[in-house]
Chain A
Amino acid sequence: MKKQRIALLGAALATAVALAACGSGGGSTAGAPAAADANAVVQVGSLYEPQNLDNTGGGGQGVTEAFNGNVYEGLYRLTDDGKVEPLLATGNTVSADGLTYTFTLRDGVTFHSGKALTSEDVKYSIEKVLAPDSKSARKSSFPEIKQITTPDPKTVTVTLATRSISFVYNLSYVWIVNDQAGSIAAKEDGTGPYQLDTWKRGSTLTLKKFADYWGTPATNGGVVFHYFTDGSALDNALLTNAVDVVTSEQNPDALPQFADNPAYKVNDGKSTTKLLLAFNDRVAPFNNTQVRKAISSAIDNKKLLQSIWGDHGTLIGSMVPPTDPWYTDLTGVNPHNVDTAKSLLAQAGYPKGFSFTLDTPNYDPHPTVATFVKSELAKVGITVNINVITSDQWYTKVYQNKDFQATLQEHVNDRDVVWYGDPDFYWGYDNPQVTDWVKQAEQAPTEAQQTELLKKVNQQIAQDAASDWLYLYPQIVVASTKVSGYPVNGLNSQFFAYGIKKG
Chain B
Amino acid sequence: MTRYLVRRAALLAGTLVLASVVLFLLLRLLPGDPANALLSVGATPDQVAAARHQIGTDRPLPAQFAHWIGQLATLHFGTSFVSSLPVGPEIVSRLSVTVPLTLAAFVLAVLVAVPVGFLAAHRSHTWYGALAGVVSQLGIAVPAFWLGLILVWVFALRLRALPAGGFPPDGWATPGDAVRALILPVVTVALVMSASLIRYVRSATLDVLGSDHLRTARALGSSFLGAMWRHGVRNASVPVVSVLGIELATTFLGAVVIESVFALPGLGSMLVRGIAQHDYPVIQGVLFVSTFAVLVVGFLSDVAQRLIDPRLRTSFGRRR
| Stretch in B20-28, B126-134, B164-172, B311-319 touching the partner | B164-172
* Contact B83 A236, beta carbon cutoff 8 Å: no
When chains A and B are docked, how far (Å) is the Cα of A319 from the Cα of B260? 35
* Contact B84 A226, beta carbon cutoff 8 Å: no
0/1 string, B153-193, CB within 8 A of A gives 1: 00011001001111101010000000000000000000000
| Stretch in B8-16, B41-49, B288-296 touching the partner | B41-49
Whether B308 is near chain A, meaning CB under 8 Å from some CB there, is no
The residue that B83 contacts in the complex, of A2, A6, A201, A392, with Cβ under 8 A, is A201
Chain A nearest Cβ from B302, distance in angstroms: 33
Chain A residues with Cβ below 8 Å from B82 are 51-52, 58
| Nearest B-chain residue to A224, judged by Cβ | B169
* Contact A135 B164, beta carbon cutoff 8 Å: no
When chains A and B are docked, how far (Å) is the Cα of A137 from the Cα of B51? 14
Q: Give residues 246-300 of A contacting B (CB, 8 Å).
A: none
When chains A and B are docked, how far (Å) is the Cα of A361 from the Cα of B39? 18
Majority SS at the chain A contact face = loop
Q: Give residues 106-153 of A contacting B (CB, 8 Å).
A: 132-137, 139-140
The residue that A202 contacts in the complex, of B33, B262, B270, with Cβ under 8 A, is B270
Chain B residues with Cβ below 8 Å from A6 are 40-41
When chains A and B are docked, how far (Å) is the Cα of A232 from the Cα of B260? 10
Whether B141 is near chain A, meaning CB under 8 Å from some CB there, is no
Whether B99 is near chain A, meaning CB under 8 Å from some CB there, is no
* Contact A135 B169, beta carbon cutoff 8 Å: no
| Nearest B-chain residue to A238, judged by Cβ | B164
When chains A and B are docked, how far (Å) is the Cα of A58 from the Cα of B278? 14
The residue that A399 contacts in the complex, of B32, B41, B93, B171, with Cβ under 8 A, is B41
| Nearest B-chain residue to A197, judged by Cβ | B169
* Contact B269 A202, beta carbon cutoff 8 Å: yes
When chains A and B are docked, how far (Å) is the Cα of A357 from the Cα of B91? 41
Chain B residues with Cβ below 8 Å from A228 are 165, 263
The residue that B42 contacts in the complex, of A57, A137, A227, A237, with Cβ under 8 A, is A137
Whether A34 is near chain B, meaning CB under 8 Å from some CB there, is no
Chain B residues with Cβ below 8 Å from A137 are 40-42
0/1 string, A225-241, CB within 8 A of B gives 1: 01111101110110110
When chains A and B are docked, how far (Å) is the Cα of A295 from the Cα of B98? 50
When chains A and B are docked, how far (Å) is the Cα of A239 from the Cα of B149? 14
Whether B137 is near chain A, meaning CB under 8 Å from some CB there, is no
With known contacts A9-B42, A57-B84, A58-B82, A198–B169 Cβ distance under 8 A: yes
* Contact A201 B164, beta carbon cutoff 8 Å: no
| Nearest B-chain residue to A395, judged by Cβ | B36
Whether A396 is near chain B, meaning CB under 8 Å from some CB there, is yes
Chain A nearest Cβ from B126, distance in angstroms: 40
The residue that A132 contacts in the complex, of B47, B80, B165, with Cβ under 8 A, is B47
Majority SS at the chain B contact face = loop
0/1 string, A207-237, CB within 8 A of B gives 1: 0000000000000000010111110111011
Q: Give residues 259-290 of B contacting A (CB, 8 Å).
A: 260-263, 265, 269-270, 273, 276-278
Number of residue pairs spanning A and B whose beta carbons lie under 8 angstroms apart: 140
* Contact A229 B41, beta carbon cutoff 8 Å: no
The residue that B157 contacts in the complex, of A226, A227, A229, A239, with Cβ under 8 A, is A239
Q: Give residues 346-402 of A contacting B (CB, 8 Å).
A: 390, 392-393, 395-396, 399
| Nearest A-chain residue to B37, judged by Cβ | A392
Whether A7 is near chain B, meaning CB under 8 Å from some CB there, is yes
Chain B nearest Cβ from A71, distance in angstroms: 16
Whether A484 is near chain B, meaning CB under 8 Å from some CB there, is no
* Contact B32 A396, beta carbon cutoff 8 Å: yes
Chain B residues with Cβ below 8 Å from A54 are 84
* Contact A242 B164, beta carbon cutoff 8 Å: yes
Chain B residues with Cβ below 8 Å from A236 are 152, 156-157, 164-165
| Nearest A-chain residue to B275, judged by Cβ | A2
* Contact A7 B47, beta carbon cutoff 8 Å: no
Whether B90 is near chain A, meaning CB under 8 Å from some CB there, is yes
When chains A and B are docked, how far (Å) is the Cα of A230 from the Cα of B257? 10
| Nearest A-chain residue to B47, judged by Cβ | A135
* Contact B41 A396, beta carbon cutoff 8 Å: no
Q: Give residues 30-70 of B contacting A (CB, 8 Å).
A: 31-33, 36-44, 46-47, 50-51, 54
Chain B nearest Cβ from A388, distance in angstroms: 14
Whether B202 is near chain A, meaning CB under 8 Å from some CB there, is no
Whether A206 is near chain B, meaning CB under 8 Å from some CB there, is yes
Chain B residues with Cβ below 8 Å from A390 are 32, 276
The residue that B260 contacts in the complex, of A52, A60, A230, with Cβ under 8 A, is A230
When chains A and B are docked, how far (Å) is the Cα of A132 from the Cα of B54? 12
Whether B94 is near chain A, meaning CB under 8 Å from some CB there, is yes
* Contact A186 B169, beta carbon cutoff 8 Å: no
When chains A and B are docked, how far (Å) is the Cα of A9 from the Cα of B260? 32
The residue that B167 contacts in the complex, of A203, A224, A229, A234, with Cβ under 8 A, is A203
When chains A and B are docked, how far (Å) is the Cα of A186 from the Cα of B276? 20
The residue that A240 contacts in the complex, of B38, B94, B156, with Cβ under 8 A, is B156
With known contacts A200-B169, A200-B265, A237-B164, A135–B51 Cβ distance under 8 A: yes
When chains A and B are docked, how far (Å) is the Cα of A398 from the Cα of B94? 36
When chains A and B are docked, how far (Å) is the Cα of A32 from the Cα of B75? 53
When chains A and B are docked, how far (Å) is the Cα of A236 from the Cα of B94? 22
Whether A308 is near chain B, meaning CB under 8 Å from some CB there, is no
With known contacts A135-B51, A185-B84, A233-B261, A204–B165 Cβ distance under 8 A: no
| Nearest B-chain residue to A2, judged by Cβ | B276
List 10 interface pairs A-B (beta carbons < 8 Å), by A numbering.
A2-B277, A57-B84, A140-B44, A186-B83, A186-B84, A201-B93, A203-B167, A233-B260, A233-B261, A236-B157
12 additional A-B residue pairs with CB within 8 Å, beyond A132-B46, A236-B152, A396-B36: A51-B82, A54-B84, A185-B85, A201-B83, A201-B265, A203-B169, A224-B169, A226-B166, A228-B263, A230-B260, A242-B166, A393-B31
Residues of B within 8 A of A (CB): 31-33, 36-44, 46-47, 50-51, 54, 80, 82-85, 90, 93-94, 149, 152, 156-157, 160, 163-167, 169, 171, 260-263, 265, 269-270, 273, 276-278
